Amino acid sequence: MQKSIPAIIRLVKKEVDKFENPIVTELGERDPFHVLIGCLLSLRTRDETTARASERLFSLANNPKAMLSLSTKQIEKSIYPVGFYKTKARRIKNICEVLIEKYNGKVPNDPNELLKLKGVGRKTCNIVMNYGFNNPNFIAVDTHVHRIPNRLGWIKTKTPEQTEQALMKLLPKRYWQDFNDTFVTFGQNVCKPVGPKCNVCPVNKYCKYYKEIFTRR
């Protein structure tokens, strides 16, 4: 059975309305600084842990200048137990120093400048541009956004960078901005990395991965 990609996305969106959005894209009403720091905290960390750590940290300091007034130990204590919390505390301090020295204490609204910040890769950059600055010209690709379109059979890519380029060619632009939110939520709750809930998936009949599993039975 064939169905258009926009129609499948609509089915996925309807399904994920049952669940909460990823914490990073909701931080501080999508304030660029909060989104940037929240995204750094979220790496290798569960959403609920990121949410609590972000709340504790931003209650102490919610802008680069205030963040620099904290010691590294204070930041470490506030964000524990996020993954690699000691490394992340140092990175947060470094980023805040650069923001103040080079960007007047503001997160730069420029992907090329964002990528110059230590610890900021393509995914974090695109999330900040997309959700922090409400720029619809980016698709943020994490493990879920990389995995699910490949499972569906829309693309055949090896890396998130390849997936980003492939999706930008494949998807109508009106879907770019919300694609990360939608498919991260879908990947966390339905199309999981291990033990995906294929039997209750609303798009299993259009999924290459599901058809391959069904054929082998």
The pair of three-digit structure tokens given for residue 213, joined into one six-digit string = 């599993």
CA distance 115 to 32: 14
- Residues known to be catalytic: 123, 142
Contact present, 73 and 85 (Cβ < 8 Å): no
> Looking at this protein, which amino acid is placed at residue 93?
K
CA distance 203 to 180: 18
DSSP per-residue codes, 77-90:
HHHTTSTTHHHHHH
Residue 172 preceded by cis peptide, ω within 30: no
CA distance 113 to 111: 5
Nearest to 191 by CA among 204, 181, 176: 204
Contact present, 174 and 139 (Cβ < 8 Å): no
